[in-house]
Structure 1
Amino acid sequence: MIYCTLCGIHITEQPGETWLQEFRAIWVESDLLNNVAVSGVGRWGNSVDDFSGTVPVDPKKRYDDDAGPGTTIDVALTPNKPTMFIHSLDEDVSAWGYGFHASCWIIFTKYSTPNLGHLFAACLSMPTGQEAFLNWGHDYGGASILEKPFKVPTRDTRFPDPRTIPNLFRSDPFHIPALARAIQQTTRLQNDVFLSRINFNAETLTKDPFFRLSPDILQLIPMLLSTSEIHAVRLASPVFASLKLTERFWASRFQPGHEFEYITEIIDHPPESWRAFYLSLQIWALNDPSMANRKRIWGLTKTLHGLLSQMEDAPCQGRPLQTWFETSADPEDTSACWHTAACASTQPNGSFVNGNRGLRARTLRFPQALKAQRMSVSFVNLPEGVFVSGLVLIDHNHERHAIGYIHESNMVDIHLPIAQYIQGWELALHTSGVKAMALIYEDGVLSSWAGEPVGSPRWRLAGLPSLSAIKAELDAIKLVRLSREGSLDELT
């Protein structure tokens, strides 16, 4: 089975459920990992096997266009072992990537066009489970479960049989007849429960602390609150209970951060009355399963865009080493002896059911043994939690040495009491990466922690206080392995 990268529901041929069959792919050809493309809309019923889909190469084409789909290509979707396609000699299976329902892709790209390279690399960084089910670290809004066979956590679909998918999850989140009906019926509605106001006497109003605020500020406050909070305020405050809620307020209910932000159609075609449309939704659309599915997928869209936004303007710093993902970099010096801290790392040609998988490798080599006065640890926020993404070391000459992905706005500093040589680090490890780090001073004393080490196993990566080089291995988002150069005698 193949599942949508965004919503976690099958891309499958189901009678009466056209949207489940229609999909796009983000894909590459063989090892051309820098040339990520998005396909046109294909139909799963035309697929060649259970794991490959046929799509138009042109993103503007569809499988059912009157003039035909144009050139098509077979794309292997959600590969567990991508290196088999990179090194494949079979030209018929050289295209591979990740699939999205066509409806989900429209929702995902409504306000922001993703960086396809970042999106593809992020997909490569996520475990794929036993059934090619991508694990983003969330439950897909109820569509997945976390299983622990042999005490190893893997995420899988909650609905292995497409015939058992509940109505909410199988309802088209983009083409929603009930929403269209709500828009059409808006102008016919005359009454709104929110239109009524209570008249209070002057003495009651003057006792309300909000009475001292200007009318402009009073009108601004409701726009910053949720509708449920407005209800509470109006019950508690005579001033707000007597305040007429303006069209500007009702329009704000459909802006980012409010309860109907996922109804994107209305932004392009605003109604004559926002207040009337709000009430129309209560009557015609709110109980519709497609609306509920739209809301679920909108939340997943925000989560994925939030992850991708952290990848912008955060290049992987350090000297590149050749990996299966970055083949043009210099090969690693095989004479170097690295002592490595890692947990649940998967080899490039291994099955990526859980744990982590490195895509990039970077090194820092110091002209003389590092004498540090500060270490700054960079973090990235993921659905699964907060993880280390990179390091910045400041030496005794105030020179800056950075490795990995550095997010200047999300860093924790560790200041050494005096500039000194260091033995290495203690790391709090998680199967997905590094949760926290502490320095090991020259005398073996541990510094304060950057990050949250509680509940994670720890690895002491230390040697003689003469650190000359470090190596970081990372996926597209975070640090997954850290090494320090040393000798076999120093292995701790």
Structure 2
Amino acid sequence: MPITSVSCVLCGARVEDISHPIHWLQSFRVAYTILENWDEARLSGVGQRRQFEDVIPLDKSVDAGIPGIDYESPGIQIRLVATQFGGKYPPNPPLIPQPAWGFALHSSCLEILSIASPSYGGRLDIQAIFDLCRSQPLKRGILDWGHDYEGLIGFPRDVDLFCPGEEPELSLAHPKTNVYTHDPLNIPELHHIFTDRIELSAPHDECGCPKVSANYCSGSDPLNNLPTEILHMILIWMDSKDVANLRLASRVCASLVLPEIFWRSRFWEGREFEYVFEENTTGSADRDWRQLFHKVKSLAALPHMANRKRVWFLARHLSSLIDRRQSYNACNGVKIRTLFEPDGVLDSAQWVTAGPTLFRPTEAFRAGARSLYDRKITLRTPLKCIYVSTMRIKSKNYVTGIRFAYDDDQSTLFGYCKTGDGTTPTWENLQQATTLVGFHVAFDSKGIRGIRFLSASGELSGWIGDREDLSQRILVLPTHLPPQDLKGGFDALKLVSLSISGGEDTSVATPLSPHHHSLALRENSIWHGSIPPKELSFLGPHKTLERNYRDSLPFSLILFGGVDGTQLPHLTGITVWVVDNTQSGVYADRTHIWGIEFSLNSPTDGRSSILLGQIPDAELSTSDVYHMDLESSLGERITGLEAFYEDPAFIFGLKFCTNRGRAIEFPPACTDQLPRDEYFSDVLKPEGGTIVGIYAVLKHDDVFRSIGVAYIPSH
């Protein structure tokens, strides 16, 4: 067995070694390149996986003199799990130089992909496939396309416990059946019925409807006056289940003899047997399509057929991405020098950036996103119009590029876009903003999902793309001046990061006042769901608690007092859930804060309480719940919050303070057993203002990572 695990980039099943008993899992080809020739992808012949090496046939067109290639040998070694680049080549001994690297596909899967692609009969765009694969993170040998490989790959069992902004990593699902081990291409039973004469007894008009008695509606049939030819056309473009239901409801359709073209249409794109492509490859146009339909239906439960269906839909999806990649003429903008594009211009500007965590070429790409192409443009004024290009991947929209049009009928293209395409933003009080000072950006771990524009007058446009239940960030310069330049990171399909610059230096020279520091926190932080109202100010967490997880996990905010504080008199109590991790290990905190709930005697948005975090499972024996009552109707208010950290990554205790002189710890006396130098205390007491909410970075394994307070500043 090889020492590394490698999966097919199309079907997700493992690429096995030469000793494996299932031959089709052994047979693979590779979309690959040599060293850092990113734009010279090629397709290998059939390779072999061995215990300590992976080998493909040597392509005679490979440049001579590359260390690590034996030009006298018929094969060369190849790396099939490479995501980290830029190191010394050839490497120092005892490391073996392997200049070839790429992405493996089972030979059967590659053939199905070629059939599923519009270019079938021609040549697959290997460069497009290679670039798409480079854009996906790879972990444990599996490319993460953002789907589950049609059920082969699953999510962690505790995915329901994930907090806002968290995205579960895909992992092997351990399928209950071994369907994925059956060859999806070569199915003898299927080949037989398309190449041999078949005799099959089946009702002449049966189309898969359930065996139930027809219950026709009383009165005239609205389809009674339609010509037979029109009825046939209607049925041909309907799914079989809908046809079956219609035949139960309509006497006219029930008595209609279904023509051969109807049965053949069951194999067309979008129908139940579209994955039976032998219909197009065996020259069987003169067959009895009704009999073929019923015979194929009788085979549908076979493991080979189930895997064919699974791989076919994966191939259709990848084919759509290839088509999209091929539709791009270029990634527009000035090319910036990176390892992937060393011929770009040097970039020395200071940038303010929004988007997911990006992994550099020199880092292992195991999650998140990676920019293959960095582009920048200079923004001009006045603007005439803005056009945003987007694409849809499964159920998600992503921004691919932006076109800025000017009064002189000139346009600046940014990323993947072209003249004549795109959606224009809408404005409530403006026909079109002539000058921009920033953006609001919504994103997930894969890229930019939505965008809105901030005008110089302070008005925001409507959103283009997705924004619900996503991380969001304001993208403005610290000076609040219009940005001079715009920079984007792009993978093979879409925008993965967006940056603005005002020139060489975008910093603010003078120290920030508390008010401006609070404003900067709102603008510089990532927020889940929506960006907080600008009327609020924010305090915390302390800068020493800003760790790497802050780069990707957003703040979640709840407002128990409302934006204007009108709900504060209705606040009746605070409940805190705590999980004791004392027995978890030497380095575990004593306790973790899991959930904080604020109870109200006047429902807000139909809710009588507001929860931040999670309530532990009732069966979790190490959890405790604590409560404090508040006399808010008599004027008691929360005036401060103190968070205790034994480890800077999560909170082990909290203290709420009120204007009645009360200070309640959760859990009680949580700091009594700890020496003062073994924990850090973050005191959050605004100087002048009314606390109306709290916000926190949340993560499912220990929930509260950090905390801050939202307040209405006193003027």
1:337 aligns with 2:350: yes
What per-residue deviation string (whole Å, max 9, x for no partner) do you get for residues 205-227 of structure 1? 99321122222211111110111
Q: 1:435/1:409 Cα in 2 relative to 1: closer, same or farther (>3 Å)? A: farther
Worse overlay, 449-458 or 79-88? 79-88
Post-superposition offset of 1:304: 0.6
SS of the aligned residue for 2:257 comes to coil
**Where does 1:224-303 land on structure 2 (aligned, <5 Å)?**
224-269=237-282, 270=284, 272-283=287-298, 285-303=299-317
d(CA) in 1 for partners of 2:390, 2:271: 28
1:76 aligns with 2:94: no
Post-superposition offset of 1:145: 1.6
Match of 2:439 among 425, 428, 453: 425
Match of 2:374 among 343, 361, 369: 361
Q: Give 1:93's aligned residue.
A: 98
Structure 1: runs of 5+ lacking an equivalent: 60-69, 197-203
Q: Give 1:321's aligned residue.
A: 336
Tell me, yes or no, if the aligned pair for 1:30 and 1:87 is still in contact at 8 Å. Answer: no
1:55 aligns with 2:66: no
Q: 1:308/1:372 Cα in 2 relative to 1: closer, same or farther (>3 Å)? A: same
TM-score, structure 1 as length reference = 0.86
Q: Give 2:36's aligned residue.
A: 31
Tell me, yes or no, if the aligned pair for 2:91 and 2:97 is still in contact at 8 Å. Answer: no
d(CA) in 2 for partners of 1:17, 1:363: 50
Q: 1:28/1:296 Cα in 2 relative to 1: closer, same or farther (>3 Å)? A: same
Tell me, yes or no, if the aligned pair for 1:31 and 1:87 is still in contact at 8 Å. Answer: no
Percent sequence identity is 27
Tell me, yes or no, if the aligned pair for 1:371 and 1:422 is still in contact at 8 Å. Answer: no
Tell me, yes or no, if the aligned pair for 2:247 and 2:254 is still in contact at 8 Å. Answer: yes
Tell me, yes or no, if the aligned pair for 1:396 and 1:419 is still in contact at 8 Å. Answer: no
Match of 1:473 among 486, 489, 492: 489
What per-residue deviation string (whole Å, max 9, x for no partner) do you get for residues 97-129 of structure 1? 000111111111125343211111111111112
Q: Give 2:387's aligned residue.
A: 376
Amino acid across the alignment from 1:259: E
What per-residue deviation string (whole Å, max 9, x for no partner) do you get for residues 160-209 of structure 1? xxxx883211111111122134335652224435269xxxxxxx999321
TM-score, structure 2 as length reference = 0.60
Mark the structure with the bigger radius of gyration: 2
d(CA) in 2 for partners of 1:426, 1:266: 50
d(CA) in 2 for partners of 1:8, 1:342: 28
Q: Give 1:7's aligned residue.
A: 11
Q: 1:402/1:280 Cα in 2 relative to 1: closer, same or farther (>3 Å)? A: same
1:489 aligns with 2:507: yes
Post-superposition offset of 1:407: 6.5
Amino acid across the alignment from 2:77: D
Amino acid across the alignment from 2:322: L
Q: 1:380/1:88 Cα in 2 relative to 1: closer, same or farther (>3 Å)? A: farther
Tell me, yes or no, if the aligned pair for 2:136 and 2:143 is still in contact at 8 Å. Answer: yes
Q: 1:386/1:78 Cα in 2 relative to 1: closer, same or farther (>3 Å)? A: farther
Amino acid across the alignment from 1:194: D
SS of the aligned residue for 2:56 comes to strand
Post-superposition offset of 1:479: 0.8
Amino acid across the alignment from 1:108: L
Amino acid across the alignment from 1:394: A
Tell me, yes or no, if the aligned pair for 1:43 and 1:54 is still in contact at 8 Å. Answer: yes
Higher relative contact order (CA 8 A, sep 6+): 1
How many corresponding residue pairs?
A: 462
Post-superposition offset of 1:455: 1.5
Match of 2:141 among 132, 135, 142: 132
Q: 1:29/1:127 Cα in 2 relative to 1: closer, same or farther (>3 Å)? A: same
SS of the aligned residue for 2:129 comes to helix
d(CA) in 1 for partners of 2:206, 2:266: 16
Q: 1:135/1:395 Cα in 2 relative to 1: closer, same or farther (>3 Å)? A: same
Post-superposition offset of 1:394: 2.0
Q: Give 1:183's aligned residue.
A: 194
Q: Give 1:66's aligned residue.
A: none
Post-superposition offset of 1:88: 5.8
Structure 2: runs of 5+ lacking an equivalent: 61-72, 118-122, 208-216, 509-519, 524-715
Amino acid across the alignment from 1:116: I
Post-superposition offset of 1:15: 4.2
Q: 1:419/1:142 Cα in 2 relative to 1: closer, same or farther (>3 Å)? A: closer
Amino acid across the alignment from 2:79: A
Q: 1:258/1:165 Cα in 2 relative to 1: closer, same or farther (>3 Å)? A: same
Post-superposition offset of 1:72: 2.1
Tell me, yes or no, if the aligned pair for 1:205 and 1:238 is still in contact at 8 Å. Answer: no
Amino acid across the alignment from 1:26: A
What per-residue deviation string (whole Å, max 9, x for no partner) do you get for residues 318-337 of structure 1? 11122222223x33232x22
Q: Give 1:389's aligned residue.
A: 400
The structure where helix makes up a greater share of residues is: 1
